[in-house]
Amino acid sequence: MMTRDFSKEFFAAYHAAVIEALGEDASKYNAKIGSLLANNFLKGLEGLPADRAEFKRAMEEFMKGPFRFADIAELTFGNDDHTATLYVKGCDICQGNEILRNSGKKGICPISQMVKSAIGKALKHNVELTGSEKPGPVGECYLKYNLK
**pLDDT tens digits for 99-148?**
999 999 999 999 999 999 999 999 999 999 999 999 989 999 999 999 99
2, with CB counted inside 10 A (0-12, 13-18, 19+), is exposed
Question: Which of the four pLDDT bands, split at 50, 70 and 90, describes residue 53?
Answer: very high
pLDDT of residue 7: 87
70, with CB counted inside 10 A (0-12, 13-18, 19+), is buried
pLDDT of residue 48: 93
Cα separations (Å) of 138 from 41, 44, 92, 99, 144? 26, 30, 9, 11, 17
Mean pLDDT of 81-103: 95
- Domain boundaries, given as residue ranges, for the chain: 8-147
Q: Phi/psi of residue 4, each to 5°?
A: -130, 125
Q: Could you tell me which of 39, 12, 145, 147 has the C-alpha nearest to residue 86?
A: 145
Span 8-147 CATH architecture? 2-Layer Sandwich (3.30)
